[in-house]
Amino acid sequence: MKLATFLHEDSERWGFVMPDPVTSAPRIVEPARAEAALARSGGATSGYAASRPSFLGDWPDTLAEFLASGDDGMAVLGRLDRFLERFLAQSDATLLGTVSHAVADVELLAPVPRPRLCLGLVSNSPSFARANPRIGHLNLFPVAHQRPQGSIVGAGAAVLMRNGHHDPVMSFNVELGVIIGRGGRDIPLHEAMRHVAGYANVTDVAGTYYYGRVPGNAGRGYSLPPEYGDWFFQATASWGGKIADTLCPVGPFLVTKDEVGDPYDLLVYTRQDGLRRDRAHTSATILGVERVIQWYSSFATLQPGDILHLGTLGVDGLSIPREVIESREVVIESEIEQLGVLRNPVQAVPVGERVPFDQHPSYAIRRAAQEPPTDAATWRPGDARHVFTAFGNHSGAPDEGLPRLEIPRFFTGPATSLGADGSRVVLPARATVVDVTIELAAVVGRLASDVDPGEAESYLAGFAPVVSLCDESFRDAVAEPARLGERHIPAVYGRWGDGFNVVGAVQPRAGTWRGRRMSLEAGDASASGSTDDYLDGAAELLATISAVTTLFPGDVILLGRTAATLRLPATGGIVAGEIEGLGRVGTEIVRAGSDGPTGGEASA
């Protein structure tokens, strides 16, 4: 089956795709309407009345909610699809027009238009290692980034390049998108495919905004001067250019895995204005669907509707020069055999011109624009859609090889890495050592896009203390000789576990956040520091991120670790932290498979 999400009369709806019996053009059938219509029509033909199988009855409102019903729900939807097809062929074909919509008449959204997780792999093609003398070993774990909801658009939606993000070039390539059906944690390799609902084309688009922000680097494209050569900034520049609004088209449909068959035996095409730019094959991956599912679920829970896209399948980043983008409308296409064709026009937004939220190509941004501002007193971790974390943002970072730069280093993480004060944090069973820090968090109060640095503070609802954990066991998976990304990304992944960033009560923004004492305690061990250790504040980070990526109300900005850090054995215990004037926050750490903390000693 092909499943789709679309807008009709400003309402988000979903269904399965059937051809029009006259024109063969695709139509989207709404399951609830189809079941109700068949129930009314079945009595007219005794054969259909007797043979009509039972269906779901109470259909979920969104496709992501339907995917949570797993294989049982998919089986029921399949019965409805087959029964309706027979009914239209043998009885009343006009019924299709009353229960479906022509794709051409609706706004086709991404199959899951507001995914909780959109994880994109990088360096996952054999072409990265083939004939490259610098790569002598491949680690079998993904190097990946996360995209926020505003980056997701559907077929036909405009890919917007704003603030010169396409200067001097933009780039794009096709990737295989894997959409999770059945969620889970600690999924073994041989069970991984049972958690897949289906597949979709993903167009991976990137721009050069953060490269161009480097002093003296404007116009040099995807290159950086030596002083900006540390991996954390390289990833900030590269991945910051991928997470921008509208730069991740997905679709046109979710094609269920039973219809696809072998996902590693599909031809792949990338086109520009109808002309082929590249041809590839889905077997051109180092890490496949199973390993990615096993790896991610080893430290965080996968949920229905999550999207994983597995990296380029051919040329990594087909460039389009700025002059081409600005001279005419360019249409980029991604096609994977059996998954259809994903077409999107590319538009350059003049520098200084803002895109109205209510007209934005991103459905998620349009929806967020209708939400009230975030109230510090009522905010809860579940209100966040995105987490942005600064790295190398403390006074001691230069001694660690991360000098202060004009642009702060930041990464996007899953909102499920946030936990509430007093919650229990469960470490993976493999964990041996965990770094624990007390950090400053800022909660975004309202939709923030292209925010002027002088106004950025007003976009913050408040501040809170955070106890953050970093599971050091990710480093154990790195085998040398390794690439820079493989060596350094454990510092990012180690913070992504479920509830690993425990947030205290949010205090409304009042006065300065600087000059506040920070303390951390775990058993007999303690550490202290000051918010003065931070180099850039939340306002600077918000302005930097929002230049191309929209932050949503309730999103969280973590300023990163300072000197107030403890290294603890992963045997469990109680950890508490405090930031002067902002209150305390605490958590109980437990390793998976244990009944509770074992009282191991902490070491500073």
pLDDT (tens digit per residue) in 396-434: 999 989 999 999 999 999 999 999 999 999 999 999 999
pLDDT, residue 53, reads 75
Instruction: With a cut of 70, say whether residue 43 has pLDDT above it.
Output: no
Q: Are residues 190 and 316 in the same domain?
A: yes
pLDDT at 94: 93
pLDDT higher than 60, residue 506: yes
| Helix/strand number for the chain, H first, E second | 15, 32
pLDDT (average), residues 152-172:
96
Q: Please identify, among 71, 89, 108, the residue that sits at the C-terminal boundary of a domain.
A: 108
According to the model, what pLDDT value does residue 600 have? 33
Residue 321 has pLDDT above 60, yes or no: yes
| pLDDT at res. 593 | 74
| pLDDT tops 70 at residue 47 | no
Structure tokens at 146: 């996360």
Among 344, 370, 396, the domain-final residue is 370
Q: Is the pLDDT of residue 31 over 90?
A: yes
With 0-12 CB in 10 A as exposed, 13-18 as middle and 19+ as buried, what is 498?
middle
pLDDT score, position 74:
95
Look at residues 211, 180, 209 and name the one whose alpha carbon lies nearest to residue 305.
Answer: 180
The answer to whether residue 284 scores a pLDDT higher than 50 is yes
pLDDT of residue 602: 32
Residue 226 lies in a domain: no
Average pLDDT taken over every residue of the chain: 93
Chain centre distance of CA 387:
10
Residue 388 near residue 545 (C-beta atoms within 8 A): yes
Of 326, 341, 370, the residue at which a domain comes to its end is: 370
**Number of C-beta neighbours around residue 482 at 10 A:** 16
Q: What tens digit of pLDDT does each residue of 336-346 get?
A: 999 999 999 99
Number of domains in the chain: 3
- For the record, the structure tokens of 180 come out as 């999770």
* 596 pLDDT more than 60: no
Residue 507 in any domain: the answer is yes
| CB of 205 closer than 8 Å to CB of 170 | yes
- As a whole number of Å, the CA-based R_g of the chain is 25
- The vertex-593 CA angle with 589 and 595, nearest 5°, equals 65
User: Is 45's pLDDT higher than 90?
Assistant: no
pLDDT at 601 over 50: no
Q: Report residue 270 CA to chain centroid gap.
A: 23
Same domain flag for 499 and 539: yes
| Residue 341 and residue 259 share a domain | yes
Domain match, 276 and 348 both: yes
Residue 554 amino acid letter: G
- The partner residues of 17 in beta bridges, in order of sequence, read 28
Considering the chain, what percentage of its residues have pLDDT values greater than 70? Answer: 96
Q: Residue 257, by phi and psi: left (phi above 0), alpha (psi -120 to 50) or beta?
A: alpha
Residue 237 resides in a domain: no
Question: Hey, which bits of 392-500 come out as E strands?
Answer: 409-414, 418-420, 424-427, 433-444, 460-471
Residue 603 binned pLDDT confidence (cut-offs 50, 70, 90) = very low
Phi then psi for residue 340, to 5 deg, are 85, -170
Q: Write the Ramachandran bin of 67: left for phi over 0, alpha for psi from -120 to 50, otherwise beta.
A: alpha
Q: Check residue 461 and give its pLDDT.
A: 97
| pLDDT per residue as tens digits for the range 382-397 | 999 999 999 999 999 9
What pLDDT is attached to residue 381? 97
Whether residue 389 contacts residue 558, with contact meaning beta carbons closer than 8 Å, is answered with: yes
From CA 444, how far away is CA 461, in angstroms rounded? 6
Residue 232, in any domain of the structure: no
In a shared domain, residues 379 and 437: yes
CA atoms within 13 A on the CB side of 237: 24
- CATH of residue 268's domain is 3.90.850.10
pLDDT digits (tens, 9 = 90+) for 453-503: 999 999 999 999 999 999 999 898 888 888 889 999 999 999 999 999 999
Whole-number pLDDT of residue 597? 39
d(CA 80, CA 93): 15
Asked if the model's pLDDT at residue 595 lies above 70, the reply is no
pLDDT at 127: 82
Domain that holds residue 71: 2-108
594 confidence band (pLDDT: 50, 70, 90): low
Cα atoms found within 13 Å of the Cα of residue 375, Cβ hemisphere only = 3
Q: Is the pLDDT of residue 134 over 90?
A: no
461 and 597 inside one domain: yes
Helices (H), 471-584: 484-488, 490-493, 538-546
Task: Provide the pLDDT for residue 55.
Answer: 86
- With beta carbons less than 8 A apart as the criterion, state whether 175 and 247 touch: no
pLDDT at 49: 61
Are residues 253 and 357 both part of a single domain? yes
Same domain assignment for residues 289 and 276? yes
Average pLDDT, integer, range 169-194: 96
pLDDT tens-place string over residues 528-583: 999 999 999 999 999 999 999 999 999 999 999 998 899 999 988 999 999 999 99
Question: Which of 249, 478, 512, 271 shows the shortest CA–CA distance to 362?
Answer: 249
Q: Using CB atoms within 10 A of its CB, is residue 51 exposed (0-12), middle (13-18) or buried (19+)?
A: exposed
Q: Are residues 406 and 463 in the same domain?
A: yes
Percent of the chain at pLDDT exceeding 90: 85
Residues pairing with 343 in the sheet: 333
Cα–Cα distance, 407 to 419 (Å, whole number): 28
Number of residues that this document lists for the chain: 604
CB 407 within 8 A of CB 430: no
Are 412 and 498 contacting, i.e. CB atoms less than 8 angstroms apart? no
**pLDDT score recorded for residue 379:** 98
Average pLDDT over every residue of 515-526: 95
- Report yes or no on 221 lying in a domain: no
Peptide bond into 373 cis (omega under 30): no
361 sits in which H/E element: none
Q: 51 and 158 share a domain?
A: no
In a domain, 236, yes or no: no
Residues 61 and 120 in one domain: no
One domain for residues 270 and 300: yes
Tokens of 477: 């998976």
Strand partners, 319: 171
pLDDT tens figures, 188-229: 999 999 999 999 999 999 999 999 999 999 999 999 999 999
Answer yes or no: is 223 within a domain: no
In a domain, 228, yes or no: no
Residue 345 parent element (H or E): strand 340-348
Q: Summarize pLDDT for 94-115 with one digit per residue, the tens.
A: 999 999 999 999 999 999 999 9
Strands 501-503 and 418-420: parallel
